[in-house]
Amino acid sequence: MKRLNYILLLLGFLFSGTSNSILAKESFTLKRGVNIAHWLSQSAARGTQRDEFFTEKDVKYIASLGFDHIRIPIDEEQMFDEAGNKEPEAFALLHRAIKQSLQENLRVIVDLHILRSHHFNANEKPLFSKASAQEAFYECWRKLSAELRKYPTSMVAYELMNEPVADDPEDWNLIAYTCYLEVREREPERVIVIGSNRWQSYDTVKDLKVPEGDKNILISFHYYKPFLLTHYKASWTEQKDYKGPVHYPGVTVNKDEFEASCPDNLKGSLRWNTQSNYDAARLKSEFQEAVNVARRYGLQIYCGEYGCMKNAPEADRLRWHRDMEQVFNEMGIARALWCYRESKDGFGILMINNPDESMIKAMGLK
C-alpha cells in the first residue's frame, strides 16, 4: 500500500504542472571539483584529528589550483547518533567548511555518502527492503535541509545518496523520487544531485527516472575504468593479488603478460582485461549515453567521482588523467576528482600533505 501511495504521489506531481515553476534564480554550474573524502565519511577520526584533517588552509589551496567546487561526503553515523540526534561537532565542521568555501567562491555539494541502512559494498541493504529504513533516510534529509537551507542555492547543492545499489532500478527511482519530494517541499530552488543505480555507473544513467521540468537537478555518474588500472593492487578488491603489468592506453594487459603473472585463482574473473582496450575514444563513447540522457532532460551531467591509484604505473596513470580531462572538457561534463587528501588507499592530490605535482600538471591545474 505504501508503495502504491508513492506511485500515486509521483504521478500526481508529474502531471500537476508545479514542476515547471521550479527554476533557480541563480545558476549552480560546475566544471571541476574535488572530493573531501575520509573526513566526515568513512573515517573513525574524531576530535582534534578530524578537526585538523580539513581546514581553511586546504580550502584556499583547492581554490588556488583552479577547482570551482568541492564535494563533501558525509555519513549518517557521523552526523546523527542512532536516535537520530544531530552530532554537534560534525555539523560544526560541515558548516565551517561550507562557509570557508563560499568565501573562496567554491561551490559545495553535500553528499550523503553512507547510511546505516545502505553501504554500497554491503551484502545487505535494508534501505531497499524496509519501510523504516526508507523513512530514516528521508528524515536525514529533512534534518539536513533544516540545517543547511540558509546557504544560497547558487552555491550549495545536495546529493541525495552516494552509489545506490538496488537489484531493481525502479526501487532506487522510487526512493530517490520520494526523497527528492521531501527536499523540494522545503527548498523549491535547491540543486539536487541524483546518481545512477549500481554504484553510480555510467551505463545505468539510462535507467534513471528524473522529474520533468525541474532544471535544478544534476544527473551524476562515477567512473573508474579500466578498473584493473584505476584500482591496481587495491587491498579491498578481488584483484588485490594481481601484481602483473597494466597499461593505458590500449589493452589493459596483453595475453602473454596475463598468463605469466596472474594468480590461477583470479584468471577466470580477470581474463576479460586482455580484451579491454581503453583510450580517449573509448572514454568518450562510454560517456556519450549519459550525456544524451542529461541533454534529453535539459540538465547538466556530473561525474561525481573518478580517479586512479598511485599504485598504477606512473606514465599510464598520468596519461589516463590527461585523457579524462580532455574528454570531460570536450563533452562538457562537470566532475569531481576522488580525492583531495589520502594516506591509505593511493588516491589523492595530497599524499600525507605532499602535493602530487605530476598529477596536478596532467590535469591542467595551476
CA angle 311, 71, 73 (to 5 degrees): 80
Q: Are 96 and 52 in contact (CB under 8 A)?
A: no
C-alpha to C-alpha distances, 244 to 233, 247, 262, 275, nearest whole angstrom: 10, 10, 6, 16
pLDDT at residue 291, as a whole number: 98
Q: Check residue 342 and give its pLDDT.
A: 85
Residue 247 lies in a domain: no
Calpha distance 97→56 (Å, rounded): 7
Does a structural domain hold residue 169?
A: yes
Task: Examine residue 263 and state whether it is found in any structural domain, yes or no.
Answer: no
Q: What is the pLDDT of residue 13?
A: 41
> What H or E segment, with its residue span, contains residue 159?
strand 156-159
E strand spans, 231-337? 250-251, 277-278, 300-306, 334-337
| pTM of this structure | 0.92
Residue 177 lies in a domain: yes
Nearest to 318 by CA among 274, 360, 262, 271: 360
Residue 310 one-letter amino acid: K
* Max intra-chain CA distance, the chain: 63
- The reported pLDDT for the residue numbered 26 is 66
* Number of domains the chain contains: 1
Tell me the DSSP string of 26-45.
Answer: S----SEEEE--SSBSS---
Q: How far apart are CA 112 and CA 136, in angstroms?
A: 13
Beta strands in 212-331 (DSSP E): 217-223, 250-251, 277-278, 300-306
pLDDT on residue 6? 46
Is 260 contained in some domain? no
Contacts of 98 (CB under 8 A, 6+ apart): 72, 108, 110, 148, 151, 156
- Give the Cα separation of 141 and 110 in Å (integer): 11
Q: Please report, as a single letter, which amino acid is at residue 72.
A: I
Q: Using a CB cutoff of 8 Å and minimum separation of 24, what contacts does 239-243 make?
A: 239/266, 239/270, 241/266, 242/266, 242/270
Write out the residue range of the structural domain in which residue 341 sits. Answer: 28-226+279-362
| CA distance between the termini of the chain | 55
Q: 40: which strand partners?
A: 74
Q: Are strands 277-278 and 250-251 parallel, antiparallel or unpaired?
A: antiparallel
DSSP-derived secondary structure letter, 108:
E
pLDDT at 20: 34
* H or E element, residue 140: helix 131-148
What pLDDT is recorded for position 210? 95
**Domain of 83: which CATH number?**
3.20.20.80
Residue 1 grid coordinates = 500500500
Low-confidence ranges of the chain (pLDDT < 70): 1-26, 343-345
Asked if residue 265 is part of any domain, the answer here is: no
